[in-house]
Amino acid sequence: MANRAQTEDTSWLASFEERAGGGAERVPKLRLLGRHGHSMPASAADASGRVVFDGVLFNREELRRRLSGPIGAGATDADLVYQAFRRWGEDALHAVRGVFSLILWDATRDLLLCARDALGVYPLFYAVSGSELLLSASIEALAGHPRVPHRVSRMALVKYLGHRSANVEDTFLAGVKRVPPGHALRVTRAGHHVFRYWYPVRPDSEPEWVGEDAFERFNELLGQAVRRCVELGPAAIYLSGGLDSVTVAATATDIARRQGLPIPCALSLVFPHPDCNEESAQRRVAAELGLRQTLVRFDDAVGPRGLLLEALEMSAGWPTPLQNVWNPAYQCLAREAKARGCDVILTGGGGDEWLTVTPVYAADLLRTGSLVELGRFVLNMQRSFQLASLPLFRNLLWTNGARLLLREAYWWALERGAAHRLLRQPSRWMEARRRRRGSATPAWLAPDPELRREMDRQSEVGRQVAGRTRGPGGFYFRELYRALDHPLTTLELEEMFESGRRLGLRVLMPFWDAELVRLLCRVPPRLLNQGGRSKGLVRPMLEQRFPHLDFGTQKKVVSLEFFRSTMLNEGERAWRSMGGVPALAELGIVDAVSVGRAVREILDNRRLGEAFRIWDVLNLEAWLRPRL
């Protein structure tokens, strides 16, 4: 059985610097810095170096067999990882499977290597202070170090409010960087750089699609992913009535019974809005699986102050601005799991990302003239999602279809000098794009002209790089790679980790298992959509397991309307309670008068489509105030 989940606060800090040796020479040294009341991650060392390993190693026995050396029965995960690096060098990154952040100093190779697991379930951040490199899985641990600047990044804040593209290595603190998921930071005497070491599918070669055995391989790897989670200790499951969490719950229950492990308990949140109330399905699934269920009404979970004020208070004490506005309610469920003695909470997160076909697949079908297949894809989306027909057609045929082809053709022509004069000298075209982009950016954002120009410049560079990116696999695979490195995806994973860390739990998502994701990226869209609906890999099992719950025809449940109405209903009180956004205005992120007027118009005119602005500005304001 794998190691049980640690229940201590693990916000450790590591230091790497060249310290004075016996003579005038400088000797590089990796140290773990003790912090009162905090446990330290596992480490292993000898005269040739040291490794710090925080997380869970999934393939302990496999590594032990492959290393076949004098490794004692009591070897820790850190011992095995260290021996793997001693044997294989950097290639050990491909042999170590698990969820982790690790730091390795190898004196024989004069190399420091700092890596994060393939999909970024564990975070890893770093800061440079003179000759010292500080590393931690916690931004707070780094920010609390006296030699790390506490200054927030104005550019990160304006990009976030403007929904602009950002560099995944950047954080909201100017002095702190992150190692992205699936990446490693290599430090030598020549300098340091970050590189990707893990790919679900190599971007430089044509994808090798899996065949008709996809269902069998999927079920095998899903079972492995869930087993890795439930073997960490007594488990709970965030159980909605949707396909993803029900799949995880059914799989986890079967494994627990088969292996004699504690049967998971179900944690269910009942939303009051009819669009997202799944109480009937939640109750019936838990009953049919024989799970103890804690079912909490949403209003009871967030308390009398309401969602918005609770979320803003949570954001103020969080390392980064809160991503999931529902987090206060789920923290209530997590505390219940902790009270029941659970070490792990499983979620269905990742199902939407890896079990569905991205809308940009429409561009690939248009490019190849596969109009019949495109028609099937449109019908599939209609059957699977609660979307009106006209916006759906526009999204697939234009936004994620023809427009992407035109943009790609533009960059292709520009690079080859074969374009029209307007393309070879695209200043007017680019200026028109900038004007359109500017009109979509709120007038109250970045009142400092220099800050706004720099935001526009960085965003344009990012879009140009994205537009020029071509390679095997078409738009479909380009979107998969982009999703892996998207800052919002990384922030959500880090927030999930932080949620568990604060309660001494692990919050894990089996659908984010690296081996399972590697398979799902190579399952052809026609199999992902088998049966004429999305998530065709799980619907047949759920139909057979729960024949009376209509999982075969279920559409995706969305909470968008509930979110919008909540922001409008609670926004007035929250705005008055916060007294506006003086901290954002002080930094020049927003114009206080203009943003106040904009919020007033959204509230007075019940502008549902702009309700997210209330959350955006108040969330950043709440997070920023304690840091000024």
Look up the CATH superfamily of 13-196: Aminohydrolase, N-terminal nucleophile (Ntn) domain (3.60.20.10)
The pLDDT of residue 342 is above 60: yes
pLDDT per residue as tens digits for the range 539-580: 999 999 999 999 999 999 999 999 999 999 999 999 999 999
pLDDT per residue as tens digits for the range 482-514: 888 899 999 999 999 999 999 999 999 999 999
Coil/strand/helix, residue 191: strand
Coil/strand/helix, residue 196: strand
The pLDDT of residue 38 is above 90: no
The pLDDT of residue 1 is above 50: no
pLDDT per residue as tens digits for the range 223-238: 999 999 999 999 999 9
pLDDT per residue as tens digits for the range 262-283: 999 999 999 999 999 999 999 9
CATH no. of 214-354+495-554: 3.40.50.620
Do residues 470 and 408 lie in contact, with contact meaning Cβ atoms separated by under 8 Å?
yes
* More confident: 407 or 396: 396
Give dist(CA 261, CA 263) in Å, integer.
6
> Would you call 439 exposed, middle or buried from its count of C-beta atoms within 10 A (0-12, 13-18, 19+)?
exposed
This prediction has a pTM of 0.92
pLDDT per residue as tens digits for the range 88-147: 999 999 999 999 999 999 998 899 999 999 999 999 999 998 889 999 999 989 998 998
Query: Token digits for 213?
Result: 């055995």
Residue range(s) of every CATH 3.40.50.620 domain in the chain:
214-354+495-554
Residue range(s) of every CATH 3.60.20.10 domain in the chain:
13-196
Rounded to a whole number of angstroms, the distance between the first and last alpha carbons of the chain is 47
> Would you call 263 exposed, middle or buried from its count of C-beta atoms within 10 A (0-12, 13-18, 19+)?
middle
Q: What is the mean pLDDT of the chain?
A: 90
The single-letter DSSP state of residue 190 is T
Give dist(CA 37, CA 40) in Å, integer.
10
